[in-house]
Structure 1
Amino acid sequence: MPWFDRDVQFNHYGPDRLPFGCTGASGLVQRFVELSGDDAGRAFDVLDASGGYGSACLGAGPEVIATAMADAVRTAGYVTDEIASAERALLLERLFAPGGLFADRFPAADYRVSGRNSGSEGMELALRLVLESRFDHRRLRAVPGAEERDVVLGFEGAWHGWSGGLLPLMNRRHYRIGLPSVDPERFGFRTEHIPFGDPDAAREWFASNGGRVLAVVVEPIQGDAGILTPPEGYLRELAALAKESGALLVADEVLTFAKTGRFFAMTDERGAIPTDVTVIGKSLGMGAVSTSMVIARRELGVRPTGTVSTSDLRPLTCAVIRAGLEHIVAEGLLERSATVGGRLGELLRDRLVADFPDLYREARGTGLIHGVELTDHAAANLGELRSTMIRNGVYVEFMSGAGRRSHGLRYLNATMRVAPPLVSTVDDVEAIAARLTDGSHAVRKTTS
C-alpha cells in the first residue's frame, strides 16, 4: 500500500508523526502496520484505548449504526432545518419530550436545541448566544443593565476548540500567540481565568467581579488539562455563584458526554446541575459522523440567520444519533461503563502509577474517561512513550496538561488519556492495562 495520504495530507502533528498505518478495525481492535524502519510492513493488532479521540463510543463497525446509516441514506432525505424532518422529529421527541432521555434536565418548555458539525462549532454558537444576550437584536444596542457585562470567566488549562472565536477562552500562550483576539469594546468581551476545581478562587473572583461577568464557560471534567475532576460540590457552587451574579453558565460537555457513567457530567449526588447552555458532541456521533448539539434556554437567541448551519441536525445525522442512543440505553452501557471504569481506575493506579513512579505521577478520572499524568522524565520523552505503547498493542492519546496555575497550585504535566469505548468490558480494560504495563517496561528500558 503506498500510503499516499502521508504525501498529500496536511501534517497537524509536527515533525514527530506516528510511523503507523491502519488497515481496518473491529470493535476495540485496530489493525496497524509499521510504515518505516527495520520492521516496515509488520502488521499487528492494537487495542483502542482512546475511543477514536473520544468519539467512537461504540467502537469500530457497530452493526446498529451501519444499519441506521444505510436506511437513512435510502429513505430519510437530506433537508436542512428550514424544512421539518420526520427523522429529526423522532430524535428530538425521544430526547426532549416528556419522558425523553434528556427531558428531566432539559424540558422542551424551557430549552431548545441546534445542531452543528463539531464540538468547536457548537462552542462557537454557545459563545454567540452568550454575547448576543446583552443587546436588543432589532436595534442592535445594549439591553438596559447589560452595558457593563463584558467579562467571560474561563479556567486555566481549558480547551474548548481552536477555532477563531474560541481562542480567548484559552489561557495558554502557545495556542493564542499570533492569532486573532477579541479586545474589550462595545459588545466585545475579555476573558479572565482562574484555576479549575478551587472553590476559594471562585468565591474570591466572584466577590470582586460579579457585577461585570457575562458568562462562565466550564468543562465539568477538564480534558486537555489532564482529566481534572473537581471536588464534590464544586460545580454546583459554581452554578450558584454564576446565577447569583446574573451570569450565564455554559457547560462544555463535548468530551464528557456519555463517558462518566451517565449522559451528563454536570451532575452530583443531588442530581442535575442547572445550566443555561450545554454543548455535547464527540460520542454523540457514535464514531460515524462528526456532530454536536447546543442545548440552550429558550430566551437565548441570536439575530435572524445568525445560527444557520449547513448541517443543523440533518436527517442522516439524526438517524445515527437516535440509533446509537437507543442501543446505549437498551444495552445498559452507561451503567456498565461506571463499573468497568471503576476497575480501569484501579488498574491505572495499581499497575502504572504505583509500579512506575519514574514515569507516572497520578491517575485521575471517572467512568470511562481517565488520565495518567506523566513525570518530568516521561513528558520529556512523550514521542517515544506513545510509539512504544502502540508497538506494545495499545493506542492512547496525550493531553497537554494545565501547565502553570495560579493560587499556588502545582504545575500539571502532559497526561496520558485512557478513554476506551463504552462497549469495553472488564476483560478489555484488564488487557489494556496489561499492554500499558508492557509498554511502560519497554519505555523504562529505552529512556533510562
Structure 2
Amino acid sequence: MSTAPVARTDRAGDPTGVLSRGRDLHLNHYGAARLPFACVGGRGLELDMVDLSPAGRGRRLRLLDASGGYASATLGGDHPVVRAALTRSTAVGNVTDELGSWERAELLDRLFGPGGLWTDHFPTGRYHVSGRNSGSEGNELALRLVLESRFDGRRLRHRPGKVRRDTILAFQGAWHGWTGGLVQLLNRRYYRAGLPAPDTAGPYGVRVAHIPFGDPEALAEYFAASADRLLAVVVEPIQGDAGILLPPPGYLRELARRCAQEDVLLVADEVLTFAKTGDWFAMRDADGPVPTDITVIGKFLGMGAVSTSMVIARKDLAVRSSGAVTTSDLRPLNCAVIRDGIEHIGSEGLLRRSAEVGVHLAEYLDATLVGRHPDVFTEVRGTGAMLGVELTAAAADRIGELRRALIEAGVYAEFMAGAGKRSGGRRYVHPTLRIVLPLIATTTQADEIADRVATGARALR
C-alpha cells in the first residue's frame, strides 16, 4: 500500500485542506463522526484514498472496493465502455420525454421490443416503462401506480370494487427507500417516528401491514384473513438491508400466484438485486421468471456513472394526465450509458461469470471469516455478486472500529442494518457486512478482499 503524500495543495498550502473542508460542508447523513478518509481516484475495483485524520493526514491508501458505491458500480471505476458511452452521449440531444429520442427508442426496443433481451420477464406489448433519478424515486412511482389503480381519474372516484382495497402488504426488515411515501413500507420504528403518517381514515386512506419475509405459513394466513382489503404487495426478492436474506424455494412464485388469484398487484423492488444474482432479475426460480405487475430496477442499471432507475409496469397501470412527468424520465444520456453497458455485459458473459465468482467467494468467506473468526462473523448469505456476512452481537457493537480496521487492511465495505428482532420467535438478525462486487471482478480479487477483511477482523481482538 502506498503512503506517498498527496501532491495537490489548496490555497493555504495544506494538501488535505480542501478535502477536509468539503467533508465538513457536506451534510452528514449518519449521525456519527465520518470515516476520516476521502477518495481521490479509482479504476476497476481499486480506490485511491487519502487519510484525513490528524495522526495520518495526507497518507495515501490503495483500497479494494467491496461496496461498489452503494452497490451501483456495475463495471467498476473508469471502465472504457462507460467512458465511451458518456463521451458519445454528449451529442445525443437533451430532449425530455415529451419528444421521442433515438437513444431511448433503441434501448427500449432492445430490451422490450420483439425478441428483446428482457421479454421472457416482460412479454412484448404488455408492459411500458418510465425512468427516474434513483431507486427511491422509482419505488415512489410504483406506489403511485398502485394507488391510481383503484381510482377513476375521469370521474374522480374509486373504481368499481376498489373501495375496500386500502392495504399494502410489505415485509419485516424490508428497505425500499427513505422518501416520505416509502418510509411507511418499513416496519422499523426508527425510520418512521417523527414523520407524517398516512391518513388511514379518509376515503382514500392507505394502511400498511407487515409480515415475516420468506414464511409461507405467515403468507397463507395473511391472505386468508385480509385478501379482500389488499391492494398490493411490495417485495424485495432478496432482502438487502435486512442482511441479504433469501426466501425459501418456491416462495416468490407462491406469492405471485396468490396475488394473481386475489386481484392484488405485485410490486418487485429489484433496485438492489438487478443484475447481481447471475441473471438480470432475481424474481425467478427453477421454473423461470416469476410474473410481476410492476418491477423497479436501479443501482447497477446506471453502470456506476449515472444515478437512474427504471419502472416496468403493466400497460393498464398508469397515472392521471401529467401525474408522472419528471425531468429525468429516460433522458438520452442515461439511455446511452445503460444500453452500452448492457450490451457489454451480455457480449462478455459477465452475468454468468459473476455468478461463478460469487459461488467461489461465498465458500471462501465461510472458510476465511466464519471459520477462522467466529467471534466476529456468524453466517454467509447471498448469491452471485451480492453477498452478506452477518456479524456476531459483540462485533455489531463495534462496527465503527471494524470499518476503520477494514480500511487500514485495504478494503472498503458497507454494513447493512440487519432485520433485528422479528416476530414469531424468529432469530434476531444482526448487522451484516455487504460485499457487492462489480461484474468484472475476478476470483483472485474476490479472494484478496476476503483476506483483507480477515486482516481487519483480527484487529478487533
- Same-fold call, TM > 0.5? yes
Deviation at 1:183, TM superposition (A): 2.4
- The one of 386, 400, 414 equivalent to 2:403 is 386
- The one of 398, 416, 423 equivalent to 1:406 is 423
**1:41-120 alignment to 2 at 5 Å?**
41-73=58-90, 75-120=91-136
Give the match for residue 167 of structure 1.
183
Deviates more, 1:397-406 or 1:3-12: 3-12
SS of equivalent residue, structure 1 residue 210: helix
SS of equivalent residue, structure 2 residue 28: coil
Give the match for residue 280 of structure 1.
297
| Count of aligned pairs between the two proteins | 443
2:36 is the counterpart of 1:19: yes
Amino acid at match of 2:389: V
Q: Distance in 2 between matches of 1:107 and 1:77?
A: 30
Give the match for residue 155 of structure 1.
171
SS of equivalent residue, structure 1 residue 433: helix
Q: Distance in 2 between matches of 1:354 and 1:191?
A: 40
Q: Distance in 1 between matches of 2:383 and 2:396?
A: 23
Q: Could you report, residue by residue, the CA deviation over 1:135-191 in whole angstroms, capped at 9, with x for unpaired residues?
A: 111111011111000010000010000000111100000000001111212122110
Q: Could you report, residue by residue, the CA deviation over 1:349-395 in whole angstroms, capped at 9, with x for unpaired residues?
A: 11111111111121100001011111110000010011110110011
Deviation at 1:15, TM superposition (A): 2.1
Q: Distance in 1 between matches of 2:205 and 2:326?
A: 23
SS of equivalent residue, structure 2 residue 313: strand
**1:10-409 alignment to 2 at 5 Å?**
10-73=27-90, 75-184=91-200, 185-409=202-426
Q: Distance in 1 between matches of 2:424 and 2:269?
A: 24
Q: Is the 8 A contact 1:20 1:35 kept in 2?
A: yes
SS of equivalent residue, structure 1 residue 370: strand
Structure 1 segments unaligned to the other structure (5+ residues): none
Deviation at 1:107, TM superposition (A): 2.1
Q: Distance in 2 between matches of 1:69 and 1:426?
A: 29
Give the match for residue 6 of structure 2.
none
SS of equivalent residue, structure 1 residue 443: coil
Q: Distance in 1 between matches of 2:197 and 2:78?
A: 41
Q: Is the 8 A contact 1:72 1:316 kept in 2?
A: yes
Q: Distance in 2 between matches of 1:162 and 1:202?
A: 26
Q: Is the 8 A contact 1:16 1:383 kept in 2?
A: no
Deviation at 1:59, TM superposition (A): 0.1
Q: Is the 8 A contact 1:256 1:265 kept in 2?
A: yes
Q: Distance in 2 between matches of 1:354 and 1:199?
A: 31
Deviation at 1:116, TM superposition (A): 0.4
Q: Is the 8 A contact 1:151 1:191 kept in 2?
A: yes
SS of equivalent residue, structure 1 residue 165: coil
Structure 2 segments unaligned to the other structure (5+ residues): 1-15
Amino acid at match of 2:226: N
The root-mean-square deviation of aligned C-alpha atoms, in Å, is: 0.8
Amino acid at match of 2:340: A
SS of equivalent residue, structure 1 residue 438: helix
**1:411-426 alignment to 2 at 5 Å?**
411-426=428-443
Amino acid at match of 2:291: P
Deviation at 1:273, TM superposition (A): 0.1
SS of equivalent residue, structure 1 residue 103: coil
Amino acid at match of 2:330: L
Deviation at 1:61, TM superposition (A): 0.2
Q: Is the 8 A contact 1:201 1:407 kept in 2?
A: no
Q: Distance in 1 between matches of 2:452 and 2:54?
A: 22
Deviation at 1:306, TM superposition (A): 0.6
Give the match for residue 438 of structure 1.
455
Amino acid at match of 2:164: E
Deviation at 1:278, TM superposition (A): 0.1
Q: Distance in 1 between matches of 2:270 and 2:53?
A: 38
Deviates more, 1:40-49 or 1:216-225: 40-49
Q: Is the 8 A contact 1:226 1:414 kept in 2?
A: yes
Amino acid at match of 2:241: D
SS of equivalent residue, structure 1 residue 364: strand
Q: Distance in 1 between matches of 2:283 and 2:151?
A: 28
Q: Distance in 2 between matches of 1:33 and 1:13?
A: 21
Q: Percent identity?
A: 60
How high is the TM-score relative to the length of structure 2?
0.95
Deviation at 1:237, TM superposition (A): 0.6
Q: Is the 8 A contact 1:167 1:181 kept in 2?
A: no
How high is the TM-score relative to the length of structure 1?
0.98
Deviates more, 1:3-12 or 1:280-289: 3-12
SS of equivalent residue, structure 1 residue 301: coil
Deviates more, 1:32-41 or 1:227-236: 32-41
Q: Distance in 2 between matches of 1:386 and 1:201?
A: 36
Q: Distance in 2 between matches of 1:88 and 1:218?
A: 28
Deviates more, 1:237-246 or 1:306-315: 237-246
Amino acid at match of 1:201: A
Deviation at 1:108, TM superposition (A): 2.9
SS of equivalent residue, structure 1 residue 280: strand
